[in-house]
Amino acid sequence: MVLDYLKDLNKAQQEAVVSTEGPALIIAGAGSGKTRVLTYRIAHLLKQGARPSSILALTFTNKAAREMKERIAGVVGENTARYLWMGTFHSIFSRILRAEHETINFPSNFTIFDAADSKSLIKTIIKSFQLDDKMYKPGSVAARISMAKNNLITPSVYAENSEIRLADKGLRMPAISEIYKEYVKRCRLSGAMDFDDLLLKTNLLFRDYPEILEKYQQRFDYVLVDEYQDTNFAQYLIVKKLAANHQNICVVGDDAQSIYSFRGARIENILSFQSDYPNHKIFKLEQNYRSTQTIVNAANSIIAKNKRQIPKTVFSENDAGKSIKVISALTDNEEGFLVAQEIAETQLREHYKNQDYAILYRTNAQSRIFEEALRKRNIPYKIYGGLSFYQRKEIKDILAYFRLVINPWDNEALKRIINYPARGIGQTTLSKLETAAVNAETSIWKIVTALPGENPANLNKGTMTKISRFVALIQEFACVVAENDAWEAAKTIAEKTGILKELHSDKSVEGLSRHENIQELLNGIQEFSINALEEGRPAKLENYLEDVALLTDQDTDKDEDRDKVTLMTVHSAKGLEFKNVFVVGLE
């Protein structure tokens, strides 16, 4: 008898769900129902008696993990689903590193730096090294450091690798090795890790402490990975280590959808799965439920030219659909005009909404022409993956207060808000404090809490008084955070810092918008606290902060007005659906 939750699956999907033991490679073409298969496979494991805490499922977005867990809960119940180890690579490895913080000599409440924090710190280091910031652009340096970490290259190995050093000279940035070393040192002094550290340090933890690796190998009887073609070298190694003993590893992916090599993704990971696990089973989900046969045929004809691939025959039983239209333009401006015209005409003719259209391009720089063309026709649009809610200044400011209260060693957070709202502590004072901290190889917080007894920054009495008031405020907030849930603590901090008052007094359009954004953030924190308490999870401010730090671009799309044409890169569009799609700039 076919179990109820299997009735919705086709034969290939059912086979992939019920074959739970040993290595499994599920090749899932676009629109083939891979999320459903992965979800039902986990539900099937639970129905067969597997302990939820023995199942590790790794995804690339919190949204994907959340949706999968909700679907699984619908089959096995919430009380069972809540104990699954399910989340993004970064959230799961952050959880492991916090649990093992004493072993790696890090505070359990370490801060997770986002890209902006990393670039800010790198910019500070470039300045302190008196390097030319036109040559050493923080973004370029950050990319080199990220590349190193994702390939498990530590600062000492980096410094000794002649090939890497030669490449840096070719980029006219020969001092990256020294910047990398200083960056790691200052992150540690701040009690902080960046996203790449979560992968690097988990690898080093498992490499240097085999007993800890063995503990997690024994904990996880089943390891499942979504979007395996998007994994990088560091992720690949961790997964391989965790599954080394039982080899109950199931990876879902599609070599034909490997489009993130610029982020370090290695197509070799999925192509070598069969040689990594000789006793594997392979399942191919070849039916596309999303696209018309015309689109599937076009995709197949392009994919057929790939030199290295896992053979598959993708098909659709949907209607043939409309033919793919090719529009030729002589200039960029004409291309923008023709796309906007096509949108306007099809809206009149076929009554499509703005949200039914997407314009896809290779790089964000290509959007300008299409933005101008849409504006001329008064067609509303949005840039997908633009400035996210959590990257807005007012949001980053209040989050910096939260970060500093949780982890006072967080130099980037302290620098951001020591004089916000304004309290008379200028940039010169901050530079003196930072220099004193670097010279003493400690955090700025250690310097400011030692005042006035110790004064290595040579500050005057008035300045020290202002700093002491700031320190007292943060220490007061630490007590508030310890005694209250995230919502009460956040509300108190927003009020007592004066941020709410300052934004409320700004009656400009921008000021009102910023005030609304803070209120939206507080509403979100209240919702987090309520949900966490209902689900029996910790509802403290540090738990909320970790959730926010681990959000991905796809998790932070808070655009309330949905009826807009969407402009985005091809990479951002993966997994999304629209009724009308323009792929532009194909020259």
The confidence score (pLDDT) of residue 1 equals 35
Residue-level pLDDT at 46:
95
CATH code, 64: 3.40.50.300
User: What distance in Å separates the CA atoms of residue 64 and residue 402, rounded to the nearest whole number?
Assistant: 27
Domains of the chain: total: 4
Q: What are phi and psi of 343, to 5 degrees?
A: -65, -50
**Residue 536 and residue 418 share a domain:** yes
Same domain, 508 and 469: yes
CA atoms of 448 and 464, how far apart (whole Å): 8
Asked if residue 567 is part of any domain, the answer here is: yes
Q: Is residue 312 part of a domain?
A: no
Q: Are residues 396 and 380 in the same domain?
A: no
Give the angle 508-556-390 at the CA atoms, nearest 5°. 45
Task: Summarize pLDDT for 229-238 with one digit per residue, the tens.
Answer: 999 999 999 9
| Co-location of 427 and 530 in the same domain | yes
Among residues 282, 305, 322, the one where a domain terminates is: 282
Boundaries of domain holding 483:
390-550
Q: Taking 50 as the threshold, does the pLDDT of residue 153 lie above it? A: yes
pTM, entire model: 0.88
Residue list, annotated binding site for ATP: 28-35
Mean pLDDT of 182-209: 97
Distance of CA 56 to the CA centre of its chain: 19
In this prediction, residues 177-186 reach a mean pLDDT of 98
pLDDT digits (tens, 9 = 90+) for 293-348: 999 998 899 888 888 888 888 889 899 989 999 999 999 989 999 999 999 999 99
pLDDT at 2 (0 to 100): 44
CB 26 within 8 A of CB 252: yes
Residue 287, domain member (yes or no)? no
Q: Are residues 467 and 448 in the same domain?
A: yes
Which tokens in the block code for residue 62?
Answer: 């919190």
Q: Are residues 89 and 180 in the same domain?
A: no
Say yes or no: 28 and 57 in one domain.
yes
Is residue 163 scored above 90 in pLDDT? yes
Residue 404 included in any domain:
yes
Question: How far is C-alpha 486 from the chain's CA centre?
Answer: 22
What share of the chain in percent tops pLDDT 90?
76
Q: What is the pLDDT of residues 378-395, one digit of tens each?
A: 999 998 876 678 888 999
* H-helix or E-strand spanning residue 248: none
- Closest residue by Cα to residue 40 from 216, 317, 283, 311: 283
pLDDT in tens, 245-300: 999 999 999 988 887 787 788 999 999 999 999 999 999 999 999 889 999 998 89
Is 105 domain-assigned? no
Sheet of strand 249-253: strand arrangement: 85-88, 55-59, 222-225, 249-253, 24-28, 281-285
pLDDT of 560 above 60? no
Question: H helices of 304-452, where?
Answer: 332-350, 367-376, 393-406, 411-417, 427-439, 444-449
Q: Are residues 344 and 396 in the same domain?
A: no
Is residue 315 in a domain?
A: no
The number of residues in the chain equals 587
Helices (H), 506-566: 509-535, 541-549
- Rg of the chain's alpha carbons, rounded to an integer? 26
- Angle between helix axes 34-47 and 11-18 (nearest 10 degrees) is 40
Within a domain: 243: yes
Token pair, residue 395, equals 């949001």
Would residue 171 count as lying in a domain?
yes
Tell me, yes or no, whether 402 and 545 share the same domain.
yes
- Residue 467 to residue 91: CA distance in whole angstroms: 35
Phi, psi of 13 (to 5 degrees): -65, -40
Contact 525, 531 (CB under 8 A): no
Binding residues: 28-35
Pull the structure tokens for residue 411.
């130099």
Q: What is the mean pLDDT of the chain?
A: 92
In sequence order, what E strands does 266-314 have?
Answer: 281-285
Whether residue 126 sits in one domain with residue 71? no
Q: Which two three-digit tokens encode residue 434?
A: 């930072």
- Our CA dihedral for 157, 163, 166, 168, rounded to 10 degrees, sits at -60
pLDDT of the residue at 47: 92
- Answer with the one of 131, 162, 190 that is the final residue of a domain: 190
Please report the pLDDT score of residue 364 as a whole number: 82
